Structure 1
């Protein structure tokens, strides 16, 4: 059990880390801001989902020859199995022995396992209680079917008991979780409040600038991977297909194709946003940041230069391949450190641009005084 708990935490945190930036984008597009507490609840949801998988599927047995013949399970379809077994055990060993019997503990743990389901789904997703209850029952049913079918045929036989009683205990646990949601402190803003504040322009902080820069790095990385994959595939197709062995000289040429393709797509990702609308980068647009003043009074060439200083600089370093590409993390660290000096950052300081909330530029009903300009 200890390994399952630790594994659940590690897997849940790993999933949270991988999805952190996509979730940041989703939060900003949905609510217009980053909500740290909601992100923590979401991470708890990933840990919990990992725990369900860990305790209902793992550990996998050693499917040696003859294992299934000796250990294959059959479904337990009697909904009165638990009370009948409970009565029989009490008659044979006394009522006091029930507290130490695994049958009772299994029943209780099946309820405890689904208490977080009702609490997390109700608190974070804010589904109606009836829908949360139906989702809990459906999830429990999916678990039992997974156990009944031996992980949907991936295992040679069913090695865990599919028990109809678990449907009732799991659903009861979800009901308890729904009740706890009602009586425990909320600690995070509800969706209605967040949506009501969505269009409000907010101060430009260093934390928000860093989020935008991390998103820019993420977008550039994705673009570079896509570009490198496309050019490497094109090169391979032009030399007999992807399964052909290449000579050392051809491998060097392929490396150049990969870096040039990655550099091209990364450069386009950096420059194209500077050519349209407010001139902000993709990361800045994701967190509602934009250059100031408006583009009609801010020369477009200056916006292009701003894009080339940091993001474009990373793309240009890719053109040189190794070892120039190794300088990209250093260049990124320099850009991040510049934000610790001023929220304008390196590119805005060099080009003499200011930065502010894009919703103010778009004509927010809030006054300029409500939003801090970044001018130092």
Structure 2
């Protein structure tokens, strides 16, 4: 059990780390801002899910343990009570309190408390639906154990017990009750959605997050571009049944580099030529240049990101300058939220919702014929 607990926590935290940026991006697009507590609850949910899987499936039996082993289906809902009563009669109260039969039932209740709590608190699902989902999940667990992980295990090795279904359901009901009586501690979806379109101050954390997301988007573009370069070259030059000669390998490498370089530059330049001119990472966290001139947008996009990408793909010695450029960019953002690229382009940065509101206000004035300094009569 200790190994299952440690493994589930480790895998849950690893999964949370991998999904941190996608979750953060989703929070911004869904709610208009970063909600740290909601993200912590999500990480807890991942850890819980991996733990549920670990306790359902592991440890797997060896082939020696499978000799003559068959699963059992226990349909008596009174099994736990009967076994505890027998222990009480034969060994006394202390033996009953220390028995595995009692603690197995208690742990099965505890196992599903987070199910009801997280589903109601984070996803804000209706409580009856959460309870039905918990019962369904418990049924799926018992079916998995009865069938030996649906035939994937060496043999059926767990007992499928209706008592587990009852204790799991009780744990989910307890989690739902705890959600009602404990402090919320995080904003509701209704509150977040109501303030989704409100512009917020540009702080250092938000600016740095946008920069990290930009690196991710550029990395994804580089991978896609390099893949297209490789596939394109192989489609034209590769002959089935023949290995690539050294000269062809060199050309393949050049094709991959050209595809990756082109795609990464497109990820940088195209957003600057479209819409409000913000990079993909800045758009994700609702940041944008306040200067509406397109040449300023292109200069902002290329003066740091474009230069670093060109240095990266230009080979030695310029590639050695890339780490220093990245450190300089992040350091500048720590000092002033505008950052290095906006400072070089002499462009202020703001919340993109403020730009959208100003554009909408200007459009409304044009439609009604009211000038910037006039008042409606």
Question: What TM-score, normalized by structure 2, do the two folds share?
Answer: 0.89
Q: 2:30 and 2:24 mapped to 1: Cα distance?
A: 10
| Residue 314 (structure 2) aligned to one of 315, 320, 344 | 320
Q: CA deviation at 1:195?
A: 1.1
- The equivalent residue for 1:19 is 19
Q: CA deviation at 1:323?
A: 6.8
- The equivalent residue for 2:118 is 120
| Residue 177 (structure 2) aligned to one of 176, 179, 188 | 179
1:354 pairs with 2:348: yes
Per the alignment, do residues 199 and 155 of structure 1 end up closer, same or farther by CA in structure 2, a change over 3 Å counting?
same
Q: Check whether the contact 2:61–2:154 (CA below 8 A) recurs between aligned residues.
A: no
Q: 2:2 and 2:305 mapped to 1: Cα distance?
A: 45
Q: 1:243 and 1:348 mapped to 2: Cα distance?
A: 53
Aligned counterparts, 1:300-319, within 5 A: 300-319=294-313
| Residue 230 (structure 1) aligned to one of 225, 228, 232 | 228
SS in 2 for 1:362: helix
SS in 1 for 2:227: helix
Q: CA deviation at 1:140?
A: 1.2
Q: Check whether the contact 1:256–1:321 (CA below 8 A) recurs between aligned residues.
A: no
Q: CA deviation at 1:324?
A: 5.1
- The equivalent residue for 2:41 is 41
Q: 1:314 and 1:349 mapped to 2: Cα distance?
A: 16
- The equivalent residue for 2:81 is 83
Q: 1:75 and 1:323 mapped to 2: Cα distance?
A: 69
- The equivalent residue for 1:212 is 210
Question: What do residues 288-342 of structure 1 show as CA deviations (whole Å, max 9, x unaligned)?
Answer: 111013x2xx2x1221121112222233234325775565443322211110121
Per the alignment, do residues 249 and 164 of structure 1 end up closer, same or farther by CA in structure 2, a change over 3 Å counting?
farther
Q: Check whether the contact 2:230–2:256 (CA below 8 A) recurs between aligned residues.
A: yes
Q: 1:244 and 1:118 mapped to 2: Cα distance?
A: 59
| Residue 142 (structure 1) aligned to one of 130, 140, 143 | 140
> Which segments of 5 or more consecutive residues in structure 2 lack a partner in the other structure?
362-377
Q: CA deviation at 1:95?
A: 4.3
Aligned counterparts, 1:158-173, within 5 A: 158-173=156-171
Question: What do residues 179-213 of structure 1 show as CA deviations (whole Å, max 9, x unaligned)?
Answer: 11122221111111111111110000011101111
Q: 2:358 and 2:276 mapped to 1: Cα distance?
A: 15
Q: CA deviation at 1:241?
A: 6.5
- The equivalent residue for 2:368 is none
Question: What do residues 107-165 of structure 1 show as CA deviations (whole Å, max 9, x unaligned)?
Answer: 11000111111111111111111111111111112212222222222223222222222
Q: Check whether the contact 1:201–1:364 (CA below 8 A) recurs between aligned residues.
A: no
- The equivalent residue for 2:324 is 330
Per the alignment, do residues 83 and 31 of structure 1 end up closer, same or farther by CA in structure 2, a change over 3 Å counting?
same
1:342 pairs with 2:336: yes
| Residue 363 (structure 1) aligned to one of 354, 357, 367 | 357
- The equivalent residue for 2:106 is 108
Q: Check whether the contact 2:238–2:244 (CA below 8 A) recurs between aligned residues.
A: no
SS in 2 for 1:266: helix
